[in-house]
């Protein structure tokens, strides 16, 4: 690793790797696949949750997501009323076991790349920039998603799942750092984490990376493409502003609508690196 103020300043002012989230960032505009499945999984236990509630902990590993939802006061109250006690670890496991086959069945239907994502990955490769990725999805779900995404042109060099690291997942830095190791990236300060969720931005910040938040195609805005086409511009602007504020507060250095806007951000980050700035 080159220490600040030493070595080749040209190489230290160049982005080495970009690590992407999946749903809402590279594929699945609006991050729809996990959201509706949480609603359906809870409904199978007689518990009603809204799409907004389901989106709340998005970015966490799916078991942690379920644990967080079951601790939310309104959902916790429903569970106690139905089952006579707060949700236990065994109950979290039961919901997770119900969720998993439902998610596996549906995830490939939401593997369509977000507009511009294929071209962005191609451009990064042409520049010699390594491409990593991580997700709150467990490995079983990614094993279904990845072939469908690859067939459409989305195929990072590294994929880390939310359930496969002993240290845990988001908001910790572990999946992002696992990408650094697997890719052989030289310096976390020359890496970018791109994500549409608050826990995903926390992950990148804690890993010491530049962080780019995604609004329009992501979980924080939450539109499907069909809903976006019908929405009033004022409503779109309000949702994007709210998402931008949330991601910025989480630590994002830049916020963009979709990955299609990433090249200009990379250029700006490299200019900052040349000025000696760090994440």
Average pLDDT on 1-5 reads 38
Active site residue 64: no
One of 16, 62, 130, 163 is an active-site residue; which one?
62
Active site residue 106: no
Could you tell me the residue range of the domain that residue 96 belongs to? 33-108
pLDDT tens across 71-100, in order? 999 999 999 999 999 999 999 999 999 999
Domains identified in the chain, total number = 2
Give the span between the Cα atoms of 198 and 196, in whole angstroms.
Answer: 7
Contacts of 182 (CB under 8 A, 6+ apart): 132, 157, 158, 160
Which of 6-20, 27-41, 148-162, 187-201 bottoms out in mean pLDDT, i.e. has the lowest? Answer: 6-20
One of 16, 21, 163, 195 is an active-site residue; which one?
21
In which band, very low, low, confident or very high, does the pLDDT at 34 lie, cut at 50, 70 and 90? confident
Q: Could you tell me if 153 and 206 lie in one domain?
A: yes
Q: What is the pTM of this model?
A: 0.88
How much is the pLDDT for 2?
A: 35
Q: Could you tell me if 67 and 135 lie in one domain?
A: no
Q: Could you tell me if 249 and 117 lie in one domain?
A: yes
| 2 assigned to some structural domain | no
- Residue 9 structure tokens: 């300043």
pLDDT at 10 over 60: no
Cis peptide before 171 (omega within 30 of 0): yes
């Amino acid at each position: 690793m080159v220490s600040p103020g030493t070595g080749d300043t040209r190489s230290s002012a160049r982005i080495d790797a970009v690590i992407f989230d999946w749903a809402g960032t590279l594929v699945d505009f609006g991050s729809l696949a996990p959201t509706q499945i949480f609603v359906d999984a809870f409904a199978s236990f007689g518990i009603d949750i809204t799409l907004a509630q389901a989106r709340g902990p998005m970015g966490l590993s799916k078991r942690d997501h379920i644990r967080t939802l079951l601790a939310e006061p309104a959902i916790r109250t429903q569970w106690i009323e139905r089952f006579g006690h707060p949700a236990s670890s065994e109950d979290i496991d039961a919901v997770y076991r119900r969720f998993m086959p439902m998610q596996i069945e549906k995830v490939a239907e939401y593997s369509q790349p977000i507009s511009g994502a294929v071209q962005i990955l191609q451009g990064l490769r042409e520049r010699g920039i390594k491409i990593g990725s991580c997700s709150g999805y467990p490995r079983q779900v990614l094993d279904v998603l990845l072939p469908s995404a690859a067939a459409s042109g989305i195929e990072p060099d590294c994929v880390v799942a939310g359930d496969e690291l002993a240290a845990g997942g988001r908001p910790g830095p572990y999946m992002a750092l696992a990408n650094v190791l697997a890719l052989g990236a030289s310096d976390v300060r020359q890496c970018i984490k791109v994500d549409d969720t608050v826990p995903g931005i926390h992950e990148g910040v804690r890993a010491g990376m530049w962080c780019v938040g995604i609004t329009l195609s992501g979980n924080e805005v939450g539109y499907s493409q069909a809903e976006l086409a019908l929405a009033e511009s004022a409503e779109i602007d309000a949702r994007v502003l709210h998402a931008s504020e949330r991601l910025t507060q989480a630590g994002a250095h830049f916020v963009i609508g979709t990955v299609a806007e990433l090249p200009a951000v990379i250029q700006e980050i490299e200019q900052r690196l040349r000025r000696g700035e760090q994440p």
